[in-house]
Amino acid sequence: MSLKRNERSGRVAYVNARLIDPATGLDGRGGLLTEGEAIADVGIGLFAQGVPEGVIVVDCGGQCLAPGLVDIRVQLREPGNEHKGTIASTGRSAIAGGVTSLVSLPDTKPVIDDMSVVEFVARRARLVGLAKVYTYGAITRGLKGAELAELGMLAEAGALGFTDGVTAIADAQVLRRALSYAATFGLLILERPEEPSLAKGGAMNQGETATRLGLPSIPRAAEVIMVERDIRLVEMTGGRLHLMNLSTAEAVEAVRRAKKRGIEITCDTAPPYFALNEIAVGDYRTFAKLSPPLRSEDDRQAVVAGLADGTIDAITSDDMPQDEDAKRQPFAQAAFGGVGLETLLAVSLELYHNGHLTVPNVLRLLTAAPSNLLGLTAGRLAKGAPADLVVFDPDRAWKVDADLLLSKSKNTPFDGRPVQGRVLRTVVDGRAVFELGSMA
């Protein structure tokens, strides 16, 4: 495969590919044709009689060709914290990880609680021209958890849903009002479930490891208490709620029970919570200081089970760039968070390599499922759909090296981890923007 800058204006035939489209159940050898920014044709046996003249040919070498990944939880550091990351650096990191669409939390500076900030992010992303960037709006003004933001106006400006980012709405009455308002207009509320007073001052998961290291801890109950409360509020209001970053067995089970009762609730998790446990903290390794914290092995296994049985609806990167100074601190004082865009696919494919899910089922959690949650047109291989694609080798082995990441920040909890699954090529709107070994 070779990167051609003129592909966007012409027609490109992807041949000799394993086509995987979880949205339609497509999985087999075939081809795909892009014309301009859209998919013109796709299917098993396409190009069996040869490729028409004048069409650029990309031979996929038998590797997987799938919809570009849709990442619905990213902390975009621009505007306000450009020393940690920018729309450009996040975009480069995204396309290297096969992510063609991403959604930013609203905790930028200024907060995305005003139409002008939504429009600024959209305009900057278009100028950068890498991954497609969408935003959530804040539930409350300034993320202060009190007065509701102008949800309707933010939705009109393009906000895909509403959340206060990494902070839960502590006041149940405020969240009740938000869910009620959102239900009236068909809007989605997203909550990061962690009871703030229980989590305050904590640095890692409560348990033997925290005790041995002498670190202040965050109990698992902080998560499930919020999940249970929020489920009750959904029952009261009829609103749509999505719970972000589940990390505990009890929270997964609470959502499982709620779904069985027919409650309209969805949830996601991120790779650290099914690939790592609290042992990764080791001897005060700050790259493993995440929010929520890495949990016990029992919790990790419960998250895997939740992904396997459909309780957990999507996988996100939870990309949270931090500058070097913020991580080079004593563990208790270091900032929470890790970058995850470039390792999203490879670590998620561990679910396949370890026998928990098939490749198409892993991809569904990274493409069609998150896209459907937010009503996007991304995440599918279909005629007329955006030509947002990823070509990858699910078995290619490599080792994560934080220093080689394209992200401006390098704080990955997977530094030094051997993984399998490598993005070879990423296409956005028919234009090849990344090829392994080179950049557009």
Report pLDDT digits (tens) over 12-64: 999 999 999 999 999 999 999 999 999 999 999 999 889 999 999 999 999 99
Quote the mean pLDDT of the chain: 96
Q: How far is Cα 14 from Cα 379, in angstroms, rounded to an integer?
A: 17
Question: For 131-174, what is each residue's pLDDT tens digit?
Answer: 999 999 999 999 999 999 999 999 999 999 999 999 999 999 99
Confidence bin at 1 (pLDDT 50/70/90): low
Catalytic annotation, residues: 318
pLDDT at 92: 97
The ranges assigned to domains in the chain are 68-374
Give mean pLDDT, residues 398-421: 97
Domain 68-374: which CATH number of 3.20.20.140, 3.10.450.50, 3.40.50.720, 3.40.50.2300: 3.20.20.140
Contact 346, 419 (CB under 8 A): yes
Confidence bin at 438 (pLDDT 50/70/90): low
Q: In the predicted model, is pLDDT for residue 5 greater than 50?
A: no
φ and ψ at residue 129, rounded to 5 degrees:
70, 30
Q: How far is Cα 199 from Cα 430, in angstroms, rounded to an integer?
A: 45
Provide the whole-model pTM. Answer: 0.96
Contact 77, 85 (CB under 8 A): yes
Question: For 335-389, what is each residue's pLDDT tens digit?
Answer: 999 999 999 999 999 999 999 999 999 999 999 999 999 999 999 999 999 999 9
Question: For 261-286, what is each residue's pLDDT tens digit?
Answer: 999 999 999 999 999 999 999 999 99
The total number of residues written for the chain in this structure: 440
Confidence bin at 6 (pLDDT 50/70/90): very low
CA-wise closest residue to 364 among 349, 382, 379: 379
Q: In the predicted model, is pLDDT for residue 440 greater than 50?
A: no
Got the DSSP string for 284-301?
T-GGG--SSPP--HHHHH
6 burial class (0-12, 13-18, 19+ CB within 10 angstroms)? exposed
Residue whose tokens read 């895997």 = 304
- What is the amino acid identity at position 430? G
